[in-house]
Structure 1
Amino acid sequence: MPQIFVSPGKYVQGAGVTGKIGHYVVSLGKKALILGGQRGIESVRQNVIQSLTDHHVSYHIETFQGESSDNEIKRMCDIGRDQAADVVIGIGGGKAIDTAKAAGFELGVPVVIVPTIASTDAPCSALSVIYSDDGVFERYLVLPKNPDLVLLDTETIARSPVRQLVAGMGDALSTYFEAAACARARAKNIAGGTMTQAALAIARLCYDILMRDGYKAKIACERRVVTEALDNIVEANTLLSGLGFESAGLAACHAVHNGLTVLEETHPYCHGEKVAFGTLTQLVLENRSIKEIEEVITFCRLVGLPTTLADIGLESASSERIRHAAEAACIEGETIYNMDMEITPDKVYAAMMAADALGHTHKHGEENAYLQSSAFIL
């Protein structure tokens, strides 16, 4: 089986780069369908519209309805055809971005991604996560190519909700552990091949940057300023995690997230928040050392990521409902089967409950432990 590494055509990150979007888009198309959530578009509207106008790129703006569902993708495609769009620009968070990538594929036009939050690793990948109109995970849509351009303005990220940046850390937190599991199992990556050493190294670098700079980046975002730590975490959340998960592979962390989406109580929580709990579940499944588990829990508690079922709205959920989520994590075709072990719903349920118990043991003194730990370089 060949080794395959994939990436976006171009990745541009920096303060104020949305003001240069026309320079990059004009070589891709002359009529843009811009789609995104209202808040996301408003956060960059002035820069984007001025730059597109300066470069003689016309545009139509359409508000994203909230779910990357088949119905929403079809609606955007219909609008794109009506507008004769020859490039799609997706602005906002993960679900708007996934919709833009899928619509661009269906329309057969280049795709430009402008994240306004660093909450997921969706921007760089050739993958759209498809949900029902009610927000329940349905499937992964693997696309034939990655976005042509990812343009990430760190000034916009610094002004975004801190919770979204932290959720991005939760998504990125899974990257190395899933990559390592796929390496042990010699599992296929999202691109249909096996991983390169570069992909595994990128996944490890992503984890190391989170441990080193995650807390500092959160503080910077709280003060709405761009620091080197924030720059590094934006890159880890978006580029490194995106390259790592797609070119190395997914395993239990994301499968548990997908299973959790069948429980309506988890719907108000961000993708990365649920992935963080999925990461703890995978560590328990693998019987990782208590030192590794404590390092992850300590980090999560400090930056504000979930470590218990209560943290994702399931404090009152019955054991039967948690078991239902475990069963959904184990449906045929799920990425949990990239683990190099026998997988059953009973094992996943047990790991979820044990992860919850471990999370409850670390409710006090996390910040002091983090600051004193040599594992975290401040």
Structure 2
Amino acid sequence: MPLLARTVNTPLLIEVRRGAVADLGPLLVDKRISAGGDVAVVVGPGQGEKIVELCMPSLGSADVFTVAGGTIDAANQLGDRLRTRSYDAVVGVGGGKTIDTAKYAATRYGIPMVTVATSLANDGIASPTASLDHEGGKGSYGVHIPIAVIVDLDFVENGPDRQTQAGIGDAVSNLNSCADWELAHEVRGEPIDGLAVTLARTGAEALINHPGKITDDGFLTTLAEALILGGIASSVCGSTRPVSGGDHEISHAIDHLFPGTASHGEQVGLGALFCTFLRGETERFGQLARCLHRHGLATTPADLRLTDDQFVEAVRHAPSTRPDRYTILEHLDLSADDLRTRLGDYVDALRDHLG
């Protein structure tokens, strides 16, 4: 009897620890990604000099490129510069904008991509997508999944707390995204990928139940792993379905209607909490509310400096941001008046769970 299985693309290397940037050269040699350091190191304008100082001693043949902005133009310009020489890999070192710029440019020219994350703001560190600004706004582009994902906890710890908090919101929102996917499967017969759901939900469950703080190595490692698993989950099923549900629709709507409100992670965290309430999942709602509150994330529209009417407008607009996606928002299709009533009930429920 034949054994039926599928091949899953995952990074060759996943390393989460302190001092990873300084050990970049040996790590690439160990996994046979680059024996001689013939790589393009892409850094952002913020910590670029410090990063280069740490990693260049072990990457003697590397070229360093500085990028800024996280735009499609910056990614195309970087791609043009990568044509001047043959590289074993493109190494994106920094936060989300730098990594997404490097991912897009590397994919454009078929060069393996290595992520070296110095912040944990979202699951882009391991995902097969790049979020880049263009003249019409922000676009999401399909890219190759990184061949290696390295997270340096020294940089994460010394970075802004808001970036780490955003990463928490992004990671735990996967619980809602998976629930929305299961709803679409049940109601509309949408195909669902159990492996992708397992990966996305397992990382989020580990994080939501972790007792640590954002200053603890154990908690930061769990956060990094949750974000990486979310990225791999998207790669497994070929879409963002396991990591993007009604929570992301709400965030996209806020970005469109009230740009500059908050970070992506803060907005999807609140969106996930509200969607969980709409589904009537009382136990999960309390669990998620306590997690967000414990780590200083928004649990009410006011925490994001949005009025109730603005939040209702965003939730009403949310389904139009992803017309192809079926979530609890499309399922209930609540009017503005109904949403105002539900929002009031939501705030009352928060008081019961948070005291």
Task: Report the TM-score when normalising by structure 2.
Answer: 0.81
The one-letter code of the counterpart of 1:283 is T
Paired position in structure 2 for 1:9: 12
Single out whichever of 4-13 and 69-78 deviates more from structure 2.
Answer: 4-13
Q: Is the CA contact 2:171–2:223 (under 8 Å) kept in the aligned structure 1?
A: no
The one-letter code of the counterpart of 1:162 is D
Distance 2:116 2:337 in 1: 38
Paired position in structure 1 for 2:114: 112
Paired position in structure 2 for 1:59: 63
Corresponding position: 1:300 with 2:301: no
Paired position in structure 2 for 1:122: 124
Paired position in structure 2 for 1:233: 223
Q: Is the CA contact 2:127–2:228 (under 8 Å) kept in the aligned structure 1?
A: no
Distance 1:24 1:296 in 2: 36
Q: 1:6: how far off? A: 4.3
The one-letter code of the counterpart of 2:199 is I
**Structure 1 residues 343 and 25: alpha-carbon distance in aligned structure 2, compared to 1, 3 A threshold:** farther
Deviations along 1:315-364, one digit per CA (max 9) or x if unpaired, are 4x8x3x546534552226456425596364x5589558845763476479
Q: Is the CA contact 2:122–2:166 (under 8 Å) kept in the aligned structure 1?
A: yes
Deviations along 1:200-253, one digit per CA (max 9) or x if unpaired, are 33333223222232x523243xxxxx3x333223322x2233234554623211
Alignment partner of 2:21 out of 9, 18, 21: 18
Q: SS of the counterpart of 2:155?
A: helix
Deviations along 1:19-65, one digit per CA (max 9) or x if unpaired, are 22113445445543333322243453322222212xxx321221322
Q: Is the CA contact 1:93–1:120 (under 8 Å) kept in the aligned structure 2?
A: no
The one-letter code of the counterpart of 2:89 is V
Distance 1:176 1:97 in 2: 25
The one-letter code of the counterpart of 1:88 is V
Paired position in structure 2 for 1:70: 72
Corresponding position: 1:183 with 2:182: yes
Q: SS of the counterpart of 1:186?
A: helix
Paired position in structure 1 for 2:200: 203
Q: Is the CA contact 1:124–1:242 (under 8 Å) kept in the aligned structure 2?
A: yes
Q: Which residues in structure 2 correspond to 1:242-281 (within 5 Å)?
A: 242-247=231-236, 249=242, 250-265=244-259, 267=260, 269-281=262-274
Q: 1:76: how far off? A: 1.9
Paired position in structure 1 for 2:43: 36
Q: 1:146: how far off? A: 0.8
Q: Is the CA contact 1:322–1:349 (under 8 Å) kept in the aligned structure 2?
A: no
Structure 2, unaligned runs of 5 or more: none
**Structure 1 residues 314 and 166: alpha-carbon distance in aligned structure 2, compared to 1, 3 A threshold:** same
Distance 1:339 1:330 in 2: 10
Q: Which of the pair has the greater relative contact order for Cα pairs under 8 Å at 6+ separation? A: 1
**Structure 1 residues 78 and 363: alpha-carbon distance in aligned structure 2, compared to 1, 3 A threshold:** farther
Corresponding position: 1:291 with 2:283: yes
The one-letter code of the counterpart of 1:279 is A
Structure 1, unaligned runs of 5 or more: 221-225, 370-378
RMSD (CA atoms): 3.4
**Structure 1 residues 342 and 171: alpha-carbon distance in aligned structure 2, compared to 1, 3 A threshold:** same
Q: 1:300: how far off? A: 1.2
Matched positions, count: 339
The one-letter code of the counterpart of 1:242 is G
Task: Report the TM-score when normalising by structure 1.
Answer: 0.77
Distance 1:257 1:352 in 2: 18
Distance 1:332 1:4 in 2: 32
